[in-house]
Structure 1
Amino acid sequence: MYLATQLVILLACIFIGARMSGIGLGVMGMIGLLIFIFAFGMKPSDPPLEVMLIILSVVTSAAALQAAGGMDYLVDIAGKILRKHPGQITLLGPLVTYAFVLFAGTAHISYSILPIIAEVAIKNRIRPERALSMSVTASHMAITASPVSAAAAALLSVLSGTGAGLAQILMVAIPSTLIGVMVGILFVWKRGKELSEDPEFLERMKDPAFVKNLEGNVEKTTTTLAPGAIKSVVIFALAIAAVVLLGSFPDLLPEFSGKEGFTPGFAVNAAGRLQMPSMIMMIMLSATGLIILFADTTAAKVTKASLFASGGQATIAVFGVVWMSSTFMDHNFEVIKNTLGEVVAAYPWLFAVALFLLSMLLYSQASTTKALMPLGLSLGLSPAYLIGIFPACNGHFFIPGYPTLLTAIQFDRTGTTRIGKYVLNHSFMLPGIVTTIASVLAGLLLQSVLL
């Protein structure tokens, strides 16, 4: 009875926090945590400090890239690629979005790419829903494949000590999500009626104001390149390369066990090796400093960048909801293990379903990973298997409230990208489900071969 009551409180806090959006999940998570401590006598678990600090470090570096004009430079490149091959927008839109989010480690860069995709599709009378729905889905998938995303860092911290490192995560996550995205693109290639046959679009075309608006903005806006834009991109790229290199070859990390008076701590493990999550923080914040020094921007501009504010929201959200969830899991571990252990052992794919369902509520791959992946290890699932099902953390398209979905709908002036009458029958539902299933299946196959 107590467990059921606690579960209701947990889900209620998550649901209310998700409705609040922004820092809502974090503050409601703290309310739930206090209830667990004082009403049920739960001992609080350790807060997710590693994931929080990595989010702050990576997003601060991305904010520096934005402040220096590097994001605008990348978006300009994306626009040129998409406009050069307008007839392939359904293919190139998602792939370009995937590549840029993979590089930046944040889906926020897609907000600047989505209007270009919508514009190119409309001008060439290609149903925008196809390219936009898959571009949003691809941006989510890229988060679980990016070496500098909070989600990858969360999985890395969960798997620390198991022998699985960043290289193992990336060699499965990148190809599996790419395969999933390609399957999703094929699924939407001819999905829905062509614009010339779509009754809603044809009805809108009877309005002269709509036609004028649709045909407007033909001229291409000229982007003035900031002085430090290219430098900031180079510095950010070198930082990512350093993260991948050190994550792939952990023997390159400094080792301190031979030092007199050595004691392990937050940054150094019991074997004396500097831990990769801490190294990611150091590298990305150092890259921020180098961008400020050499890419013609200032610390004040970095803190005023929109990405910096987004990073603060994400950090608070992870802080509260993961701390609450992990406290609930730790307190009820034996009951959960005894209840789910045999089921998961017999049907391990059910754990992928659990990841998907939780991500629907948390709206965060990192929070889902940190909250549930440790339970997977405790239930006997191998690190390789957990890496294989990692793309299942991308279920936040299911309930159409995530910002990338709403932004895509806003930019589609034809009305083909929409939320349906029954809410869940929206443009992203089927592409998201198809892509996620294909990515997970590809991940399971690849982990069995590569790991």
Structure 2
Amino acid sequence: MIIWLQFAVLLAAILVGARMKGIGLGVMGMVALAIYIFLFRMRPADPPIDVMLIILAVVTTAATLQAAGGMDYLVRLAEKILRSKPALIVLLGPLVTYMFTLFAGTAHITYSLLPIIAEVSTKKRIRPERALSISVIASHLAITASPISAATAAILTILSGKVELLEILKVCIPATLVGTLAGVAVCWKQGKDLDKDPLFLEKMKDPEFAKSINADTEAAQAPLQPGAKTSVLIFGLAVLLIVLVGAFPDMLPSFGEGLSNLAVDAAGRIKMSAIIELVMLAAAAAIMLLCKTSAASVAKASLFTSGAQAVVSIFGVVWMSATFMQTNTAVIEHTLGDMVRSAPWTFAIALFLLSILLFSQAATTKALMPLGLSLGIIPPHLVAMFPAVNGDFVLPGYPTLLAAINFDRTGSTHIGKYLVNHSFMIPGLVSVSVSVAVGFLLAGILW
């Protein structure tokens, strides 16, 4: 059937794009889209403009926070917490990375924490794999609980009028926290202790390696920038305002029924996605003005670069996937309909499998959640399944996974011989599964 040829094109674009890394997924998605349009004569779906704009707005504000020194201030606070109880690093590491991502809306913020987690673990002779693996998974789960993440904005847009932001947060924050704690439980004794690990013991025979491991690496910290604390306060107030507006949508002005657009829905209310963009960029302006941060320094911030790559990737891969789904909706609904209607939770498997390929929670949400609605899955169940879009750890190519592996000098955090038998697999599967199960439980209680 022609659908299998079209699916082969989609799969090839994703696999090649994933190997290219960076903006590879985005540009290869556009190649596949061109094949769909000009060879298969498929009608293109709407490009994911709303998700792209949210990513740009949130990442710009996070980069402004970084340029103002606010990120350095947060990292120092986190470092104090992590070093205060080194014996509990397997618990504190993931909780800190979770809170960081929940606050900032992106997992890229955790790069500065991973080397601290690795060092504290090694100094305490706790196998770094235990803390690093679940810390990375926790940062990914927090994306599906953050009020300002692109993934949350995507599901909010798809379920507009059926579910409010606060209802998503009531389910997803406790569900992903419980999922994280379940991951901590399985990681607590993961692998051999360092003093019994033959690989580590062999490395310790090298005097230079042993000296570097035992050395005090807490470098003298440079003074914080003058506006660092103020920038964190402004960013925090912006996040709080978004949550308040989501909790009390009547606060928003209404313009009467009429033509909808990217900013206003058919009922005349400003869309939540537009609110996130507006508040975030206004917060960025406030940080620049009050903390004397230059626009040039924001553009040079590492978070801004990461965000630009994410926008290109989502642009290509979501537009390609949405076009494939739109063209083949009838076939897919006929194939999956009976199974999903009798057991709605099975749709979570589809979300998980697609997220493995797309390496993006927002892209997976935007590409597949509309299909869930068309299959008749009720919104509370879709919210419960939202954490299932965190399958990006299965293939160990995501930047946070690679960073954790590189920061672990003991070699305990690793990619296995068979690629998928890596350090993140078991904690990831347990955490996501428990999050979805708890999500269904909470959705049943709250709705």
Tell me, yes or no, whether TM beats 0.5: yes
The answer to whether residue 420 in structure 2 is matched with residue 427 in structure 1 is no
Q: Is the 8 A contact 1:391 1:440 kept in 2?
A: yes
Q: Match of 2:332?
A: 336
How far apart are 1:42 and its partner, in Å?
0.9
Amino acid at match of 1:371: A
Amino acid at match of 2:221: T
Q: Match of 1:85?
A: 85
Q: Is the 8 A contact 1:94 1:138 kept in 2?
A: yes
Q: CA RMSD in A?
A: 1.1
Q: Match of 1:105?
A: 105
Q: Match of 2:272?
A: 276
Q: Match of 1:174?
A: 173
Amino acid at match of 1:283: V
Task: Structure 2: give runs of 5+ residues left out of the alignment.
Answer: none
* CA distance, structure 2, for counterparts of residue 348 and residue 24 of structure 1: 33
Q: Match of 1:145?
A: 145
Q: Is the 8 A contact 2:109 2:303 kept in 1?
A: no
Q: Is the 8 A contact 2:234 2:286 kept in 1?
A: yes
Q: Match of 1:413?
A: 409
Q: Counterparts of 1:36-435 in structure 2 under 5 Å?
A: 36-161=36-161, 163-257=162-256, 263-435=259-431
Amino acid at match of 1:242: L
Q: Deviations over 1:355-398 (max 9, x none)?
A: 11111111000000000000000000011101001111000110
How far apart are 1:219 and its partner, in Å?
3.8
* CA distance, structure 2, for counterparts of residue 352 and residue 59 of structure 1: 28
Judged with a 3 Å threshold, the aligned counterparts in structure 2 of structure 1 residues 386 and 40 are, in CA distance, closer, same or farther, namely same
* CA distance, structure 2, for counterparts of residue 219 and residue 79 of structure 1: 10
How far apart are 1:196 and its partner, in Å?
1.0
How far apart are 1:221 and its partner, in Å?
3.0
How far apart are 1:264 and its partner, in Å?
3.1
* CA distance, structure 2, for counterparts of residue 384 and residue 232 of structure 1: 36
Task: Give SS of 1:389's match.
Answer: helix
Q: Is the 8 A contact 1:172 1:447 kept in 2?
A: yes
Amino acid at match of 1:5: L
Judged with a 3 Å threshold, the aligned counterparts in structure 2 of structure 1 residues 223 and 183 are, in CA distance, closer, same or farther, namely farther
* CA distance, structure 2, for counterparts of residue 328 and residue 424 of structure 1: 28
How far apart are 1:41 and its partner, in Å?
1.1
Task: Give SS of 2:186's match.
Answer: helix
Q: Deviations over 1:57-108 (max 9, x none)?
A: 0000000000000011100100011111111111101101101111011111
How far apart are 1:206 and its partner, in Å?
1.0
Q: Deviations over 1:178-231 (max 9, x none)?
A: 000001101111121111111111111111111011112344432421111111
Q: Deviations over 1:396-439 (max 9, x none)?
A: 11011111111111111111111112211111111111111111
Q: Is the 8 A contact 1:76 1:223 kept in 2?
A: no
* CA distance, structure 1, for counterparts of residue 292 and residue 108 of structure 2: 23
Q: Deviations over 1:117-160 (max 9, x none)?
A: 11111111111111001100101011111101111011111111
* CA distance, structure 2, for counterparts of residue 361 and residue 208 of structure 1: 43
Amino acid at match of 1:415: G
Amino acid at match of 2:436: V
Q: Is the 8 A contact 1:268 1:275 kept in 2?
A: yes
Task: Structure 1: give runs of 5+ residues left out of the alignment.
Answer: none
Q: Is the 8 A contact 1:355 1:372 kept in 2?
A: yes
The answer to whether residue 8 in structure 2 is matched with residue 12 in structure 1 is no
Amino acid at match of 2:14: I
Q: Deviations over 1:232-284 (max 9, x none)?
A: 100100100011000111111111118xxx64322111111111111111000
How far apart are 1:320 and its partner, in Å?
0.8
* CA distance, structure 1, for counterparts of residue 42 and residue 308 of structure 2: 28
Q: Percent identity?
A: 61
How far apart are 1:164 and its partner, in Å?
0.2
Q: Is the 8 A contact 1:17 1:25 kept in 2?
A: yes
Judged with a 3 Å threshold, the aligned counterparts in structure 2 of structure 1 residues 223 and 382 are, in CA distance, closer, same or farther, namely farther
Q: Is the 8 A contact 1:125 1:195 kept in 2?
A: yes
